[in-house]
Amino acid sequence: MTLTLVHLLPELLGTYGDRGNVEIASWRLKQRGIAHEVITVHAGDRVPVSADLYFLGGGEDDAQVAAREILERDGAMRKVINNGGHIFAVCAGFQLLGASFPASGDRTIIGLGILPVDTFAATPRSVGELLSESTIGIGMLTGFENHAGQTGYLDEIQPLGNVISGVGNAQASTVDGVVTDQVVATYMHGPAFSRNPDLADWVLARKVGELKPLAAPIFTQLHQERVANIK
């Protein structure tokens, strides 16, 4: 059976180049000869609920609220999880998987409730390079964060990284993102898969099993350069 990647709502959750994660995932699979297809879901489309790996990116306030409405319809994302689908989510995409998130006009929007996290508004925005040590055994993770929301855990869950430089989930915390059985979430733009090829492969391998090594030196060089730049 062909592997299916789903790019969710790029026009709403695509402000920070996170579409790159989908392109890179597809490219890395293709280089290894692994058959797959990429479905892009636009605002008017139905969300397919039995695909393999879903991508959510960052976006602006109103777009995040509009995206949440579409993803909530018919309990689509809940069905995705029940059907064993995996999700890779960044920034606004991360926030909307939680219990609630802030929006313009001091509103609090109920999230999709897939992750036991909650996000509240704070100033100033957290903007800049984000460097963390991964909790999943793949070394350093590097990205660029840009978010006002501060995310806290509602339960004991595993972060994606322990922050070395930058903010991550919240000013008051020392971690970035979340890892659960089916979800990997982070505040790292960059995009994350471009700067962190091992993260891309780790997320893919959880769905397709062990991957052959891939000679793609540019991504390794980029990763090393970004990490060295911050340290």
Partner 1 sequence: MKLRLVIVVANAAGWLSRITKKGSGVMVTGRIILKLVPSAVQTLSKSRKVILISGTNGKTTTTSLIYHALSSQGPVVSNFTGANLFAGIAAALSKNQAAPVAVLEVDEMVIPWAMKQTNPRLIVLLNLGRDQLDRLSEVRVVAQKWKVALATAQAHCAVLADSDDPFVTWAAQDCVNVIWFTSGAVGHIDASTCPECGKVLEWNTHLTSYSCTCGFKKPNPEWILRDGELTGPNNQKVGVQSGIPGAAALGNAARAIVAAKAFGVPIDKAASEIAKVLSVDGRFGSLKIGRTNFRLLLSKNPASWRETLATSAQGPKAVALVVNANTQDGKDTSWLWDVDFSPLANRTVIATGERRLDLSARLTVAGIKHEVCADEGAAAKVFGAVDADIIASYTAFHRLSKQVKPS
Name the token pair of 98: 């939680």
- Measured from the CB atom, the residue of 16 and 88 that comes closer to partner 1 is 16
- Measured from the CB atom, the residue of 11 and 37 that comes closer to partner 1 is 11
- Give residues in contact with partner 1 (CB under 8 A): 11-12, 14-20, 23-24, 27, 43-44, 60-63, 65-66, 104, 125, 127-129, 144, 146, 189-191, 194, 216, 218-219, 221-222, 225
Q: How far is the CB of 31 from partner 1 (least distance, A)?
A: 10
Q: Which residue has the tokens 């390079």?
A: 129
- Measured from the CB atom, the residue of 28 and 81 that comes closer to partner 1 is 28
Residues 6+ apart with CB under 8 A from 100: 108, 109, 110, 111, 118, 119
Q: How far is the CB of 1 from partner 1 (least distance, A)?
A: 25
- Measured from the CB atom, the residue of 169 and 194 that comes closer to partner 1 is 194
Residue 90 · residue 57 · CB < 8 Å: yes
CB atoms under 10 Å from CB of 75, counted, come to 13
Q: Is 45 helix (H, G, I), strand (E, B) or coil?
A: coil
Q: How far is the CB of 134 from partner 1 (least distance, A)?
A: 20
